[in-house]
Structure formats: structure tokens, C-alpha cells
Structure 1
Amino acid sequence: MAKRKKRTRLLPVLFLSAAAAAAWLLLLQTENRVDDCLKIEQNINSVLLTAGVPEKNVTSWWEEKKKNRVEWLKINKKILIRKPLWGLFSADNLLQNVENRRKYALSVKDEDDHLSREIKILRDGNIYCLITLRGEKAGPSLCIIIDDCGGSKKQLTSFTQLNLPLTYAILPYQRYSRVIAQSLARSGSDTLLHMPMEPHKADMKALGKGALSAEMTGDEIIKKITAALGCVPGVKGMNNHMGSLFTENREKMKIVMTLLKKEGLFFLDSATSPKSVCRETASLSGVKCLRNNIFLDNIDSAGEVKKRLLEAASIARKNGSAIAIGHATRRHTADAIKEISRELKDVEIVPLSRLMDNI
């Protein structure tokens, strides 16, 4: 009877000992986060594929890590990539579908020379991924502006279907001005207010509603531009429609640039006059401004437009970049752009904002 009581007393002790041993074994178990690291690696590769980065521009290696009973692979990557594409390396893209992604943090640091960026993915103070981005020297860039948009959705379709980063200049007060501006802005395309301005030998009626005249007061100019901006929401800047007389007027262009500065917009000088003061007045007002290099379709024939596109590409190779203007209303411009863009292997077609960012 005494032996049975003793055995009964030992049972709780044995149970507690077993529980303690199990708890100790549980503490000794290693947490494996390698799957998370592999998913991050997969996400990085998806970003590289989207950005079109060649394999020769990427150096990769892994390091096996273990700390506080946690195992992981530290991913290291050095990537040569154009600076405008650095934004693709975001938390949303790099941590997509990673388990417990909220436990990971992204740290971004730009070097003092602004030519490289260091991105770290961290958890519990440990580095799980270290990405070093280095700016790739950009090749020649060509920006193609499509003027006179707004009157027809059908005309514009031939350009948007090219799937090229063209820039669209939209006339105010046209039948589809607002609809086209909203649609292009949603698609991520650069858009401009194509502001009618008085030319030499002016026919103000032909310019349509809202045109700027050199005879207007400052208040009238501001009122006209403000109203026109309301017709084309989402624009990033403005360029002149005609305006050979107006763009030569220093006083009037200074009023325009002061308003653009206030609105946070840039200006493209369409170059309708060799005596234009657009760049001068823009500089004085702190507005980013570039000038058109060539018109593509003053002669509306396929051969002529192709010839002019090749001239624009030559300018880009010589100067690093070029701007060319075509028109939504011309019959052959879209097809010519489609054909020549396939031949321009060394020249990148870029939106106007890309060139403005480099000023």
C-alpha cells in the first residue's frame, strides 16, 4: 500500500519533468525563414524582368545566416540600372506574397553622389537582403510630342495603340479635350496643355477659344491659362500652339512662366519662332523648359515623316537627347513612328518628363 502511494506521488513529478523537457526542446528548435528569402529573390527577379535589366548588369550572391535559433539566406545584389527605374524596387514589389511581410522593413539610402542607392530588407534588426543600385549611363533619348489632340478620339487611338511612351499635347475647348486628358493621365502618359498663342499674321478666330494675344493684360493672360488648364486635367506642363509673335514677347512670356511656376508645371517651347524668349523667361522664373528640335510632319507623307524621325534620332545621338513634334491630325505620322521605332535599337523613346527630370 505504501509503495502504491509513493508511485502516485512520483507521477506529477515525472509529468512536470517531461513538460519541461518538451519546452526545452521546443526552445532549441530553429525557425527557418529561407522560404521568405527565396520569395524575396523571386520578387527581385520579377522587377529586373519588368525593367529589362540584362543579366550582365546583375551580380548576385547568398550568405547562410543563423542567429538566435533563426536561419535565413542573406541575398546580396549589385545592379547596374537606369536611375528612373530605381522606384520599381519598392516594398510592395519586393515583399509581395512574403509570409508575415509586415514583420519586414525596407530601408533606403541614397549615396551623397546620387549615383547609387542602398536598399535593405530587415527583420528583427538583421539584414535579409542588401541591394545596391548603380545608375547606368543613359544612351540617347528621343521624346516625341503629339500635338493638336482633343478633337478626335479615333485619331488618337492610332498613337496610343503603339504602346510607346509618347507625350500628348491637348488643345483646350475641343470636343474631347477633357475626356482624352483624363484617359491619358490614367494610363500614365505625359500630357501637356497645348496653349494657343498669337502668331505673326494672326488669325485669332482660327486659333479658337482661349487663345493668348500679345495685346492682353496680365490678368487676362492668367485668366485664359487658368481656364484652359481646367479643360485638360492632369497635365504636367504646357507647350505653345503656334505663337510665333507671342513667344517673342518677353513681358507676356514672363507672366506665363510665373503662373506655371505657381502651378508646378514645366514648359516646352514648340520653336515656332527663332526669336523666342521662352527659355530665357522660364529660367528667370525657375521653370523647367526645353525646346523642340524638329517638326516631323509639316509634309504629310510617310516617306517625309520617316526621314524626319531619322534626323531626330541623329540629333539625339549627337546631343544625348532630342525632341520631335508630330500631329494627331496627320495621316501618316503614327505608322511612320511605328516603323522607325523598331529600327532605333540604340535610341530610347522617352516621355518629356524624363528629359525634364535631367535638367
Structure 2
Amino acid sequence: MNTSNHRVKRVLLYPLAAAVIMSAALIPSAPLAVSAAQADTALSAPAPADSRGSSVSGNRTAGNQQQQALSRVAVIIDDFGNSMRGTEEMFKLPVKITVAVMPFLRSSEQDARRAHELGFDVLVHLPMEPRQGKPEWLGPGAVLTSMNDAEVRQRVEAALDNVPYAIGINNHMGSKVTGDERVMGIVLEVCKERGLFFVDSHTNYRSVAGRMARELGMPPVENHIFLDDVHSASHVAKQMKLVQERALSQKFCVTIGHVGIQGKETAAGIRSGIAEMKDKVQFVGISDLVREEWKWNSRLTLP
């Protein structure tokens, strides 16, 4: 009985052994150990797409969902329009920015068109009377509190007509005007008529712009952080960290820098900050933020 069993086992095992030997001959030899780096690479490698590209589609969907989940940062750069120092550096930043162009200056139209061609949002950086400051800092076409209603309206409309592709206005200086209900009411009326919005640069902490915008059914957009209140690249880089902190805690942040005497330094600081923040926040145009945060979908009436 035992002999018979051994014979049966041998009959069954011989084909199995042959199969194992043939398989070993066909499979190329592999190292006995895999380094930690190799193991991480093997585990993290994406699955290849099938003939229909299903994994590519899945990766794209996951990427879109991740971007939507990221906090948003809108970087507005003021004072374009006069070929100011730092203009080229700002246009070459590796993220979407918003270009605020002062009207009636030598490169106002050129800067606005270039920004639009690059896919950047354009704002009219409207000169407005400050509480303090030199009148010559305002530039041409400024809105003053001494003007009557018709004069204010004419100034706002002329500035909008002078800067192509503008989707909104923000104030240049303007600490006196943004605290004046009569004048701000006219500015916001013109914005609403043209399907624009107003971004309060927040040069006046008693500004009425946000409250009045809400009352008119418009988005109460305001600046949260000035990047270059101290004119050095290192300070701007530090301010960008504050921007990141606010964006992560509040879901979004609006921040303002400038071209001008220290424009190159500001651009360098922003670029440095972008490198640190690129995987933590999403850089958007101000119109993207306004549309997503305040559901603002007005129809623009462009000149």
C-alpha cells in the first residue's frame, strides 16, 4: 500500500517539477534585495493607461479636484501704464496675476493689451484723492471729492474707456474718496452699469466701499495684504508667507504689490514666494476669485 502511494506521488510530482524548472528558465533573474528608494519608486509609480486612457483621465480628474480644494491667492500688481521699473519682471512671473493699469499714461493701453494677451486680468487703477499725499502722485484723470456728480461720473467712464479689457476698478491712493459715500456711490454705479466690480485697495480702514458694494448686490472685494510696504525683496518674500497663512486659514487672500522704483525687488520677492507656495495654494486672477467666492457672473460692457 505504501509502495503504491509513493509511486502515485512520483507520477504527480514529476510534471510539477518540470513546470517549475521551465518557468525559472523563462523568467529573468532578479536581485534578491530592493533598496528603499527603489521600493518607494515602485510603489508610487502610476498605473499605465489602457488603450482608452482611463488612468490618464482619472489622474486629470484627481488633479482638478485637488486644485479646487486648494486655497486661492489673487496677486494684484498696481501702477502699470508708465513703463515703470519691474514691468517686464511682473509680466514674466510664472503664475496668473492681475494687472492694474493707471489711465492716460504713455503705456496704459499697451500694458493692458499685453496683460490680456497673456491671459491676465486687467483692472483700471483709478487715481482717487487721498487724505494726505502730493497731488502730483495722483496722475491724470483723478477723481476728487470736490467734483460734482456729473464730473465724477465723467472721470470714471473716461478712465474705463482708456484702458482696454478692464474687468474692474481698484483705487490708486484714494483714502479720502473711499470714505465718501456720495463719490463712492457714483463709482460703484458706473461699475454696476458696465458689469464690473470694485476692488478696495484698503488705503483707508474706514472705507465705505465694501458696505456699499454689498448694498448694490456687488462683491465686496478688498485687499488683505500689501506686499511691498517695505521696499525689499526679502520683505516681500516674508509678506508672501503671510499671504499663504491667510489663504490657508480663510480659503483665499487678495494681495497687492507694485511696479515702480522698487518694482524689480518686488517681483523678485513674489517669485521667491511663489516657489514656496506653489503646491499649497492656487494662484488665480481676481475675476476667478470673484466668480468663485461671490458667484459674480455679470455681463461685461467693454468699450
For normalisation by structure 1, the TM-score amounts to 0.63
- Say whether the 8 Å CA contact 2:169–2:196 is kept in structure 1: yes
Per-residue CA deviations over 1:282-304 (Å, capped at 9, x if unaligned) read 11222223110111111111211
Query: Are positions 1:339 and 2:263 aligned together?
Result: no
User: Matched residues, percent identical?
Assistant: 32
What is the alpha-carbon distance in structure 1 between the residues aligned to residue 61 and residue 244 of structure 2? Answer: 25
CA RMSD of aligned residues (A): 2.8
Counterpart in 2 of 1:301?
232
What is the alpha-carbon distance in structure 1 between the residues aligned to residue 99 and residue 224 of structure 2? Answer: 16
What is the alpha-carbon distance in structure 1 between the residues aligned to residue 105 and residue 242 of structure 2? Answer: 32
Deviation for aligned residue 1:181: 0.8
What is the alpha-carbon distance in structure 1 between the residues aligned to residue 93 and residue 125 of structure 2? Answer: 22
Counterpart in 2 of 1:221?
152
Deviation for aligned residue 1:343: 1.1
What is the alpha-carbon distance in structure 1 between the residues aligned to residue 142 and residue 50 of structure 2? Answer: 57
Aligned-partner SS, 2:125: strand
Per-residue CA deviations over 1:29-58 (Å, capped at 9, x if unaligned) read xxxxxxxxxxxxxxxxxxxxxxxxxx79xx
What is the alpha-carbon distance in structure 2 between the residues aligned to residue 216 and residue 323 of structure 1? Answer: 30
Alpha carbons of 1:180 and 1:137: their partners in 2 closer, same or farther (altered >3 Å)? closer
Instruction: Could you tell me which runs of 5 or more consecutive residues in structure 1 were left unpaired when the two chains were aligned.
Output: 1-54, 63-73, 86-133
Counterpart in 2 of 1:7?
none
Q: What residue identity is the alignment partner of 2:193? A: K
What is the alpha-carbon distance in structure 2 between the residues aligned to residue 197 and residue 154 of structure 1? Answer: 22
What is the alpha-carbon distance in structure 1 between the residues aligned to residue 148 and residue 85 of structure 2? Answer: 38
Deviation for aligned residue 1:171: 0.5
Aligned match for 1:238, one of 169, 173, 178: 169
- Say whether the 8 Å CA contact 2:129–2:143 is kept in structure 1: yes
Per residue, is there more helix in 1 or in 2?
A: 2
Deviation for aligned residue 1:60: 8.5
Alpha carbons of 1:200 and 1:271: their partners in 2 closer, same or farther (altered >3 Å)? same
Aligned match for 2:97, one of 148, 157, 166: 166
What is the alpha-carbon distance in structure 2 between the residues aligned to residue 348 and residue 135 of structure 1? Answer: 10
Counterpart in 2 of 1:354?
288
Deviation for aligned residue 1:136: 6.5
Counterpart in 2 of 1:288?
219
What is the alpha-carbon distance in structure 1 between the residues aligned to residue 78 and residue 67 of structure 2? Answer: 31
Aligned match for 1:152, one of 71, 83, 91: 83
Counterpart in 1 of 2:29?
none
Q: What residue identity is the alignment partner of 1:242? A: M
Per residue, is there more strand in 1 or in 2?
A: 1
Q: What residue identity is the alignment partner of 2:273? A: I
Aligned-partner SS, 2:131: coil
Aligned-partner SS, 2:288: helix
Deviation for aligned residue 1:193: 0.1
Alpha carbons of 1:81 and 1:221: their partners in 2 closer, same or farther (altered >3 Å)? farther
Which protein, 1 or 2, shows the higher relative CO under an 8 Å CA cutoff with sep ≥ 6? 2
Q: What residue identity is the alignment partner of 1:346? A: K
Query: Are positions 1:262 and 2:193 aligned together?
Result: yes
Aligned-partner SS, 2:111: helix
- Say whether the 8 Å CA contact 1:139–1:347 is kept in structure 2: yes
Deviation for aligned residue 1:187: 2.0
Aligned-partner SS, 1:228: helix
- Say whether the 8 Å CA contact 2:86–2:267 is kept in structure 1: no
What is the alpha-carbon distance in structure 1 between the residues aligned to residue 193 and residue 51 of structure 2? Answer: 48
Tell me how many residue pairs correspond in the alignment: 245
Deviation for aligned residue 1:135: 8.9
- Say whether the 8 Å CA contact 2:123–2:168 is kept in structure 1: yes
Q: How does 1:112-261 map to 2 (within 5 A)?
A: 137-152=68-83, 155-261=86-192
Counterpart in 2 of 1:80?
61
Query: Are positions 1:321 and 2:252 aligned together?
Result: yes
Q: What residue identity is the alignment partner of 1:260? A: C
Q: What residue identity is the alignment partner of 1:352? A: I
- Say whether the 8 Å CA contact 2:211–2:220 is kept in structure 1: no
What is the alpha-carbon distance in structure 2 between the residues aligned to residue 146 and residue 136 of structure 1? Answer: 23
What is the alpha-carbon distance in structure 2 between the residues aligned to residue 161 and residue 299 of structure 1? Answer: 22
What is the alpha-carbon distance in structure 1 between the residues aligned to residue 200 and residue 190 of structure 2? Answer: 16
Alpha carbons of 1:303 and 1:135: their partners in 2 closer, same or farther (altered >3 Å)? closer
Moved more, 309-318 or 339-348: 339-348
What is the alpha-carbon distance in structure 2 between the residues aligned to residue 215 and residue 354 of structure 1? Answer: 35
Per-residue CA deviations over 1:54-84 (Å, capped at 9, x if unaligned) read x79xx9996xxxxxxxxxxx9xx666368xx
Q: What residue identity is the alignment partner of 1:209? A: P
- Say whether the 8 Å CA contact 1:315–1:322 is kept in structure 2: yes
- Say whether the 8 Å CA contact 1:142–1:316 is kept in structure 2: yes
Q: What residue identity is the alignment partner of 2:241? A: L
Instruction: Could you tell me which runs of 5 or more consecutive residues in structure 2 were left unpaired when the two chains were aligned.
Output: 1-45, 295-303
Aligned-partner SS, 1:332: helix
